[in-house]
Amino acid sequence: MHTSLQPADAIPGLHVAIIMDGNGRWGTRRGLARTAGHRAGVEAVRRVAEAAPDLGIGALTLFAFSSDNWRRPREEVDGLMAILRAYLRFEIAKLVESGVRLTVIGRRDRLSARMRQDITRVERKTAGGQNLHLRLAIDYSARAAIAQAAARWTDDQSTEVLRRMIVNSPQVEVPDVDLLIRTSGEQRLSDFLLWESAYAELWFTETLWPDFAAEDLSAAVEHFHSRQRRFGGVPVAGVMEARG
């Protein structure tokens, strides 16, 4: 069981999570296929991964494919999987060069064998990355992650054990989400990181994901720093006591 393993320390910094939404609309508004939007979305992934370390981000979790996205037309699902595979295969050198450690969360048993191999390979090759922990959520459902962990957890174990099972990151420690961003004007969670986002600051933007720039990430992080996090407590002399 994962819980017996000792994960590496988290890369220091904020944990930012992004629901990368609006690819389909980006394509459609240009008279293109929705998949064109997904392809353009990969460029935005590159931009945020590159910008993140300088903005004080240690972990970046990106929602790439939800467990409910299997409901989409077959061609779109196939297109998305091909785009994701290409990213996992061809990005390795750049990730290693930039010190980015990539891991994937979500179910793997419904992915193709080739995709599973690509995931294992990129995780292994980037395992030494110290500048950013980039997590891609593929076939991910937060409810499923929580249900699966709950089924294995026994109540003589601590909630910390439960948390670890839900987060399901056996290789490297991952803190709760500090800042959750959703693009494209939608303001919902769509079953993403429900446990981990309990005290996340939320940031919504009308910008469609393929148009999301490093400046947008920077603006969101700036907004985050202007927020006063209370974690259920009260402000102490204008400054919050750290939790724990």
Report the partner that residue 224 touches, choosing among ligand IPE, Mg ion, none (CB closer than 5 to 8 A by kind): none
Token pair listed for 219: 């603006």
In the complex, the smallest distance separating the C-beta of residue 26 from ligand IPE, rounded to whole angstroms, is 7
Cβ burial, residue 44 (10 Å; 0-12/13-18/19+)? buried
- Contact call for residue 207 and ligand IPE (CB under 6 A): no
Report the partner that residue 45 touches, choosing among ligand IPE, Mg ion, none (CB closer than 5 to 8 A by kind): none
In the complex, the smallest distance separating the C-beta of residue 86 from ligand IPE, rounded to whole angstroms, is 15
Reference 180, options 55, 45, 73, 63; nearest CA is 63
In whole angstroms, give the CA distance from residue 144 to residue 17. 18
Q: 42 and 136 in contact (C-beta within 8 Å)?
A: no
Q: Which of 17, 40, 59, 80 binds ligand IPE (CB under 6 A)?
A: 80
Tell me the pairing of strands 201-204 and 57-66.
unpaired
Contact stretch for ligand IPE (CB under 6 A) within 23-31, 47-55, 85-93, 199-207: 23-31
In whole angstroms, give the CA distance from residue 4 to residue 170. 9
- Contact call for residue 216 and Mg ion (CB under 5 A): no
- Contact call for residue 52 and ligand IPE (CB under 6 A): no
Reference 207, options 194, 199, 216; nearest CA is 216
Token pair listed for 7: 């994960």
Q: Which of 13, 22, 53, 79 binds ligand IPE (CB under 6 A)?
A: 22
Catalytic residue among 21, 118, 139, 178: 21
- Contact call for residue 21 and Mg ion (CB under 5 A): yes
Q: Which residue has the tokens 């048993």?
A: 109
- Annotated active-site residue 131? The verdict is no
Report the partner that residue 205 touches, choosing among Mg ion, ligand IPE, none (CB closer than 5 to 8 A by kind): none
- Annotated active-site residue 21? The verdict is yes
Query: How does DSSP assign 78-114, residue by residue?
Result: HHHHHHHHHHHHHSHHHHHHTTEEEEEES--TTS-HH
- Contact call for residue 79 and ligand IPE (CB under 6 A): no
CA distances (Å), 70 to each of 74, 78, 110, 218, in order?
8, 10, 10, 32
Q: 61 and 193 in contact (C-beta within 8 Å)?
A: yes
Report the partner that residue 190 touches, choosing among Mg ion, ligand IPE, none (CB closer than 5 to 8 A by kind): ligand IPE
Report the partner that residue 87 touches, choosing among Mg ion, ligand IPE, none (CB closer than 5 to 8 A by kind): none
Catalytic residue among 69, 168, 191, 211: 69
Contacting ligand IPE within 165-194 (CB under 6 A): 184, 186, 188, 190
Side chain identity at 240, as an amino acid letter? M
- Active site amino acids: 21, 69
Q: Which residues bind to Mg ion, rule: CB under 5 A?
A: 21
Site for ligand IPE, rule CB under 6 A: 19-25, 63-66, 69, 80, 184, 186, 188, 190
